């Protein structure tokens, strides 16, 4: 056993639960969002090489991205060097940020040697062992959401990756209802949420079967937590979890973990969050989301999705426009957003598109083929 891992996925997809479960494995030490700005700052550094100085969401959804290709960012990471000063500045900038879950790591930032992103990542994960009281841990890692773009780079650097995916309808329910404002920006347009989630699925489809890459469906973890954790331990090279690891799941500070649900505290691992959208998500929202994400829902075998089709997508969005903010890009109109989604649905349904078109609409040709059922 030994090495490093990285846990990621879209917001409210179950990444925190998976992080706690992996941390519960013997000899493992996983940090809970210990340095989120390091990812954002690195992506912004890449964008600056393209002359892009301002980007609200640097780790964006990549939908219709034409300024660069996905592989360009990996190539940037392979040659990019992080200085000690840059790492320290990233930690200073995180002060007061609610998404920073481990401020105690800041005092160790200047002790990490400069180097590649992977070098700094490993150094910070090593420091986590002292902070979290697991000095002998041989599996080290961290969790951060929105970071799918780092997956190919981490895999190339022999860092195992765990990507967590969850039914988009339950994701939206968790982001918009209950006490959702505690965990996410309520101003996120619905289409932005949908596109970020579809990006996560595209990465899951692209790298499925790659050495060191593991996709976990949140629903499967909740349905059979013990077998899921045992399988994950085997893949990560860890000893089997303790008999009470699931029933007495702990936070990194040793306290019982009650979950971070938008609806109610949970005792350990509970199946209650699965299918919650049926009780809380308005029918118009559910229909539109199912239409927008029909190929992804089908590919993940989450449920029987709505029939895909450009007319359905357009009509569903038009009906939803009076209830939810749909416009994503600055300067874009609702008509442009609807046309783009209609075009995407048609291209996937047709099952034939040029490689640039496949990348434009689905990020990866392999993901496009899977979504098109080819």
Domain identity same for 223 and 293:
no
Q: Could you tell me if residue 275 is inside a domain?
A: no
Q: What are phi and psi of 181, to 5 degrees?
A: -65, -15
Q: Could you tell me if residue 252 is inside a domain?
A: no
The domain boundary, picked from 211, 236, 261, lies at 236
Share of the chain above pLDDT 90, in %: 70
Mean pLDDT for all residues in the chain: 90
Domain identity same for 9 and 106:
yes
**Helices (DSSP H) in the chain: which residue ranges?**
15-23, 36-48, 70-79, 84-93, 117-131, 151-156, 168-176, 190-207, 218-223, 225-236, 277-280, 283-292, 294-299, 310-320, 334-350, 355-362, 365-371
Residue 306 has pLDDT above 60, yes or no: no
∠ CA(11), CA(14), CA(15), 5° rounding?
75
Compute the distance between CA of residue 174 and CA of residue 281 in angstroms, rounded to an integer. 10
What is the residue range of 107's domain? Answer: 3-236
Domain identity same for 105 and 201:
yes
Domain identity same for 328 and 225:
no
Question: What's the pLDDT score for residue 100?
Answer: 86
Q: What is the pLDDT of residues 87-117, one digit of tens each?
A: 999 999 999 888 888 888 998 888 888 999 9
Q: What is the pLDDT of residues 199-255, one digit of tens each?
A: 999 999 999 999 999 999 999 999 999 999 999 999 999 999 999 999 889 999 989
Q: Could you tell me if residue 243 is inside a domain?
A: no
Q: Which residue has the higher pLDDT, 266 or 112?
A: 112
Q: What is the domain count for the chain? A: 2
Q: Could you tell me if residue 264 is inside a domain?
A: no
Compute the distance between CA of residue 83 and CA of residue 116 in angstroms, rounded to an integer. 9
Compute the distance between CA of residue 191 and CA of residue 296 in angstroms, rounded to an integer. 15
The pTM of the whole model exceeds 0.85: yes
The domain boundary, picked from 209, 236, 263, lies at 236
Q: Which pLDDT band, with edges at 50, 70 and 90, does 173 fall under?
A: very high
Question: What's the pLDDT score for residue 2?
Answer: 63
**343 contacts 310 by C-beta, under 8 angstroms:** yes
Domain identity same for 289 and 232:
no
Residue 279 has pLDDT above 70, yes or no: yes
Domain identity same for 42 and 173:
yes
Question: What's the pLDDT score for residue 310?
Answer: 44
The domain boundary, picked from 218, 236, 254, lies at 236
Check which CATH number belongs to the domain holding 124 and give it: 3.40.50
Domain identity same for 74 and 172:
yes
């Amino acid at each position: 056993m030994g090495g490093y891992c990285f846990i990621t996925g879209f917001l409210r997809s179950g990444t925190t639960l998976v992080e706690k479960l992996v941390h519960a494995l013997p000899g493992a030490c996983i940090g809970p969002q210990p340095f989120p700005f390091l990812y954002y700052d690195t992506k912004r550094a890449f964008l600056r090489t393209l002359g892009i100085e301002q980007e609200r969401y640097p780790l964006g959804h990549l939908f219709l991205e034409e300024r660069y290709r996905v592989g360009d960012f990996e190539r940037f990471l392979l040659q990019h060097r992080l200085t000690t000063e840059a790492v320290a500045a990233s930690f200073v900038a995180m002060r007061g940020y609610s998404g920073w879950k481990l401020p105690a790591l800041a005092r160790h930032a200047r002790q990490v040697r400069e180097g590649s992103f992977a070098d700094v990542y490993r150094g910070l994960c090593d420091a986590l062992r002292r902070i979290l009281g697991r000095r002998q841990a041989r599996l080290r890692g961290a969790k951060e959401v929105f970071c799918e773009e780092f997956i190919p780079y981490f895999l190339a650097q022999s860092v195992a990756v765990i990507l967590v995916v969850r039914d988009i309808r339950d994701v939206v329910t968790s982001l918009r209802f209950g006490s959702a404002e505690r965990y996410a920006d309520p101003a996120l347009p619905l289409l932005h949420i949908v596109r970020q989630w579809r990006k996560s699925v595209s990465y899951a489809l692209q790298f499925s079967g790659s050495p060191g890459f593991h996709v976990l469906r949140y629903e499967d973890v909740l349905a059979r937590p013990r077998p899921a954790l045992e399988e994950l331990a085997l893949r990560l090279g860890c000893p089997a979890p303790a008999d009470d690891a699931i029933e007495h799941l702990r936070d990194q500070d040793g306290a019982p973990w009650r979950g971070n649900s938008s609806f109610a505290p949970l005792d350990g691992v509970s199946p209650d969050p699965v299918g919650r959208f049926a009780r809380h998500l308005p029918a118009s929202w559910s229909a539109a989301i199912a239409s927008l994400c029909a190929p992804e829902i089908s590919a993940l075998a989450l449920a029987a999705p709505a029939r895909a089709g450009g007319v359905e997508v357009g009509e569903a969005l038009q009906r939803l426009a009076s209830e939810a903010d749909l416009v994503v890009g600055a300067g874009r109109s609702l008509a442009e957003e609807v046309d783009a989604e209609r075009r995407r649905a048609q291209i996937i349904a047709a099952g034939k598109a040029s490689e640039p078109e496949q990348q434009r609409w689905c990020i990866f040709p392999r993901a496009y083929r899977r979504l098109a059922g080819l």
